[in-house]
Structure 1
Amino acid sequence: MVVPVFNEQDVLPLFAQRLRPVLDRLGVSYEVLAVDDGSRDATPAVLAGMRRDWPALRVVRLRRNAGHQNALTAGLHRARGCYVVSIDVDLQDPPEVIADMLDLAREERLDVVHGVRTDRRTDSPFKRVTAGLYYRLIRRVVGTAVPRHAGDFRLLSRTAVDALTELPEHLPVYRLLVPWLGLPSGEVPYAREVRAAGRSKYPLARMVRLALDSLTGFSAAPLRVATWLGCAGIALCFVMGGAVLAAYAWGNVVPGWTSMFVALVFLGALQLLCLGLLGEYVARIFTAVQGRPAYVVTEES
């Protein structure tokens, strides 16, 4: 088990109470690798206390907050199981589904089993709408191999984990990276539950960042959008030029600056948008060239 944790002092005991019986009933040896993503509350102390009563719990502490996906990377690089399940600690993804994932992977010899959310009524209307837009956009741009409404609750075989850890990704988005591998995969549906305690660690800013990383990391479509916007702007300029010539020919020229102002603002906004899209890709290249580690481990139990 790989469990990213960030400021989750309230939910950790509840998470352990539900996860441990599920894993004990599987009848296999296991470890729970909790990756403390630079928590600033009592999370490290809570994890240390849990380790005294739960020998299978293993803790990796990062020096600073590296982000959810990088915390997953730290866990995947250190996970030792024949199968690895990643799950968030907030209990919105029910641990009881893990047994179904393992059974499906063994029966059909799958390398990947996605947990797919079929019921999101516990999410806010805003969250449901934005999640729906995200998956529709990603499936249209990246491809339908990306499961609809599948987050980071999944089971991976050792083959899949080794393949992921060999990739030189600096800004990984695993919900897209795992389908990209093209390994045999399946799905297990489940109903998303209410967060057990604490507050969401994915505010709007992080959701937008995830969407941008998804688009720029797995598709050149935004660059093509910039090209098409430039073509549309040129076409619009020709239309406006024709309208101006027609108005001049009919003697309907009215002195003023409105049309000129609108045209300049439109073209300026178009250029800035295209530069912004190019900047996203340049930033990814800059990050990759720097070669800095995505996370720094300060302690490992």
Structure 2
Amino acid sequence: MTADKDGWTLSLVIPVMNEVEAVEPFLSAIDATLRDVAPRLEILFIDDGSTDGTAEALTAASERDQRVRWLRLTRNFGKEAAMSAGIDHAIGDAVVPMDVDLQDPPELIHEFVHKWRNEGYDMVYGVRGSRHEDTRRKRTSAGLFYSFFNRLSTTTIPSNAGDYRLIDRRIVEALRQLPERSRFMKGLFSWPGYRSVGVYYDRPARQVGNSKFNFWKLWNFALDGLVSFSTWPLRVWSYIGGVVALLSFFYIVILLTKVMIFGSQVPGYASLMTAILFFGGMQLISVGVLGEYISRLFIEAKQRPLYLIEHDSGADRKPLPQARPAVKVDIS
């Protein structure tokens, strides 16, 4: 824990895209629950290419509240890139990425801060104790993903833990050194290591607006995570190829033996087509897996920026004002 005893800053990082209705309720909830959570509080919004009135709402909020700062990206780069932009530009000794829809309850940050400051944890992540707001299909698919990912990857991510967490400045600086363009933030948060602990909470339903994620986006997100943190999909084809080659060798021995003993036999059309279709399908699958990795190598080789910033409301701003003395939070 790197913060000074009395002069530390907490930064909230909130990616938004077309969330004009959620900005004011979010700020009201933050003001009601986190007024005394830190000596200095930065509320950093990242406008990820909004096309509604989100930019105007953020402008008005930053003009009346010195704690509010916002970045506007030149277009929609995706939530992972927007979150990375916020983490890169946050000034806090501790940084809390969270959603604007209040499904990440702000009052939980008190417990995050307690474990960070009083118990010495470098990262405190929220674990969803129940997911009643999600559909059964989403809960099932999420559980399967976490289990599958942790079996295949050397980087373990906690089950049912989202992006909502407190991360120490040491981890922030480590994340800023990771240059990859295909960002799977749950894995990147876990990759540096350091001392971490989970805090269970019940995730409430979204209060305003609609989720920007659909099944197809979630599928691609899961695929990015698996490919970014595991080479197993590549290695498995070596084992499959070895097994198929071994079975083929035994089958050739059997065929040669039958020909030598019983004479030449005319092969059947069905068995020939079955073999052709089976091995053709296997080859197409393996080429597809190779394509997933090669496409990511292609993206990384171009070295394009992860995001571009069009506007920073805090570029010429004075340092954050000192808040009232932070109170020690009793979690028991």
TM-score category (smaller protein): over 0.9
Q: In 2 relative to 1, CA 245–11 (structure 1 residues): closer, same or farther, beyond 3 Å? A: farther
- Give the corresponding residue for 1:26: 37
Q: 2:231 aligns with which of 206, 215, 220?
A: 220
- Give the corresponding residue for 1:258: 270
- Give secondary structure in 1 for the equivalent of 2:20: coil
Q: 2:80 aligns with which of 61, 65, 69?
A: 69
- Give the corresponding residue for 1:274: 286
1:91 equivalent to 2:95? Answer no
Could you state the TM-score of these two structures normalised by the residue count of structure 1? 0.92
- Give the corresponding residue for 2:309: 297
Amino acid at match of 1:148: S
Q: 2:27 aligns with which of 16, 38, 49?
A: 16
The number of residues matched between the two structures is 301
Q: In 2 relative to 1, CA 235–92 (structure 1 residues): closer, same or farther, beyond 3 Å? A: farther
Amino acid at match of 1:96: E
Could you state the TM-score of these two structures normalised by the residue count of structure 2? 0.84
C-alpha deviations, 1:90-126, integer Å up to 9, x for none?
2222111111101111111111111111111111111
- Give secondary structure in 1 for the equivalent of 2:305: coil
CA RMSD of aligned residues (A): 2.2
- Give secondary structure in 2 for the equivalent of 1:74: helix
Asked whether the equivalents of residues 154 and 230 of structure 2 are also in contact (C-alpha less than 8 Å), the reply is no
- Give secondary structure in 1 for the equivalent of 2:148: helix
- CA distance in structure 2 between the aligned counterparts of 1:19 and 1:242, rounded to whole angstroms: 73
Q: In 2 relative to 1, CA 197–231 (structure 1 residues): closer, same or farther, beyond 3 Å? A: farther
Q: In 2 relative to 1, CA 207–247 (structure 1 residues): closer, same or farther, beyond 3 Å? A: farther
**Structure 1: stretches of 5+ with no match in the other structure:** none
How do 1:1-301 residues align onto structure 2 when only pairs under 5 Å count? Answer: 1-143=12-154, 145-238=156-249, 241=252, 256-301=268-313
Amino acid at match of 2:75: R
Deviation of residue 250 (structure 1)?
7.4
Deviation of residue 52 (structure 1)?
3.2
C-alpha deviations, 1:190-211, integer Å up to 9, x for none?
1111111222122112211221
Amino acid at match of 1:272: L
Specify the structure having the higher radius of gyration (Cα).
Answer: 2
Asked whether the equivalents of residues 115 and 189 of structure 1 are also in contact (C-alpha less than 8 Å), the reply is yes
Asked whether the equivalents of residues 142 and 219 of structure 1 are also in contact (C-alpha less than 8 Å), the reply is yes
- CA distance in structure 1 between the aligned counterparts of 2:57 and 2:104, rounded to whole angstroms: 21
Asked whether the equivalents of residues 32 and 58 of structure 1 are also in contact (C-alpha less than 8 Å), the reply is yes
- CA distance in structure 2 between the aligned counterparts of 1:42 and 1:172, rounded to whole angstroms: 28
Q: In 2 relative to 1, CA 47–26 (structure 1 residues): closer, same or farther, beyond 3 Å? A: same
Q: In 2 relative to 1, CA 226–41 (structure 1 residues): closer, same or farther, beyond 3 Å? A: farther
C-alpha deviations, 1:73-98, integer Å up to 9, x for none?
10011000111000011222211111
- CA distance in structure 1 between the aligned counterparts of 2:205 and 2:43, rounded to whole angstroms: 23
Deviation of residue 255 (structure 1)?
6.3
Asked whether the equivalents of residues 226 and 277 of structure 1 are also in contact (C-alpha less than 8 Å), the reply is no
| Richer in helix (by share) | 1
Percent same amino acid at aligned positions? 38
**Structure 2: stretches of 5+ with no match in the other structure:** 1-11, 314-332
Asked whether the equivalents of residues 14 and 196 of structure 1 are also in contact (C-alpha less than 8 Å), the reply is no
Asked whether the equivalents of residues 22 and 101 of structure 2 are also in contact (C-alpha less than 8 Å), the reply is yes
Amino acid at match of 2:300: A
Deviation of residue 240 (structure 1)?
5.6
Asked whether the equivalents of residues 66 and 295 of structure 1 are also in contact (C-alpha less than 8 Å), the reply is yes
- Give secondary structure in 2 for the equivalent of 1:152: strand
